[in-house]
Amino acid sequence: MIVTRICLLCLMMLAVQPVLAATAAVREMAGILVKLEHHPGAAEKSRLKELAASKDSTEQEKALANAMANLNHSAADADKARLKQVKDDATAPAEVRELANIILNLNHTPSAADKSKLQQMMK
């Protein structure tokens, strides 16, 4: 009986934990976004282009990195359709969909709520 209760308690605790297990690319993009003001700097754009060209990045991560490299106060119109596809792709990891959503809604800098989500992704 006690073992059952302990197991049930453990399962409940796991259910409320965030399900963000970000890849290195997503953690790095989150780190860039969390301190973003208006647009990425030259070094950040260079790194984002590297991520977009990396064979280790997924196609979705490449789309995010390209969109971030093109940021100028908000997402470029040319990137919005692809970001919406990533955001709506149920097969994409949760943190990738969330990152796409944050980029789509970006207005000069991430909101406080988005910064909190980005900090969780960086862990």
pLDDT band at 2 (very low <50, low <70, confident <90, very high): low
% of the chain at pLDDT higher than 70: 83
Cα–Cα distance, 73 to 75 (Å, whole number):
7
Q: Is the pLDDT of residue 74 over 70?
A: yes
User: Domain locations in the chain?
Assistant: 22-121
pLDDT band at 14 (very low <50, low <70, confident <90, very high): very low
Torsion (CA) 65, 43, 34, 103 in degrees, nearest 10: -30
Q: Is the pLDDT of residue 116 over 60?
A: yes
pLDDT band at 110 (very low <50, low <70, confident <90, very high): very high
List helix spans (H) across 54-111.
Answer: 59-69, 77-88, 94-105
* 79-90 per-position pLDDT tens digit: 999 999 999 999
What pTM, to 2 d.p., does this model score?
0.79
